[in-house]
Amino acid sequence: MAGVPVAIGGTTFATKAAAKDFIRMNVIDAFDGVPRIPFGPIHDFVEDLLNLHEAAVDKIGCGIDYFRVDPASVWKTGVPVRASNRTLVVVRKDGTLIDWSWDGIVTNPSAVTQKRTALRNAAYGRIQAIKRAAFSAGPVICTRTGLPILAPNDAQVRYHRPTFAALTDGFAATVGGWPAITTTSSGAGAELTSPSITANWIKYYDANAFPSVELKS
């Protein structure tokens, strides 16, 4: 039986196991004991992963400063955990911090997580159009680093104010909540089933997304 593909931001994994292996090797193990995950491709990947979390808006709060990897025992006081267990922590711009579970996002994604993926897929055409428009207008400067972006393949579209989680939560509220949004399947290929919901989402995206074009990390 074929595995279910998993999409995390612009990265697609063939199976849940492949996604979990990548996260363990390149995030958890690589940054265990390090004060912070530096800005770059792994930071962006972890940010995309958090934006799939059902409670992402609450976890992000006033905004992400950085991520780090902590022993799970630091956060699970009074709960028996293996000494080797690790958890991801988001440190917010106001200095507050909170842990969050990444495993469930991949292994057993909630309905909200699956619907966020479908909304991202539905906006794919808009994302590509944003990049094309940026390059057709002249030299493109990364809004985060100030460095020039030489080609569309070197660019990525990211969401900060609002985050993608806040954007999709806001849209869901306009159509009666997440239960009103239905999808064809789970996994990376999830699509919206309702033409009217899709049309409303694109209109909402155009009016509220405010994405930035940035240099790929």
pLDDT at residue number 1: 42
Low-confidence ranges of the chain (pLDDT < 70): 1-2, 75-84, 186
Domain housing 137 = 111-215
Contact 8, 49 (CB under 8 A): yes
pLDDT at 216: 84
Dist CA 140 CA 131 (whole Å): 10
The answer to whether residues 130 and 202 belong to one domain is yes
Q: Of 52, 73, 107, which closes a domain?
A: 107
What's the pTM value of the predicted model, to 2 decimals?
0.87
Q: State residue 122's pLDDT score.
A: 96
Residues 209 and 162 in one domain: yes
Burial of 2 per CB tally in 10 Å (0-12, 13-18, 19+)? exposed
Q: Are residues 131 and 92 part of one domain?
A: no
Query: What is the reported pLDDT for 187?
Result: 72
Tell me, yes or no, whether 130 and 209 share the same domain: yes
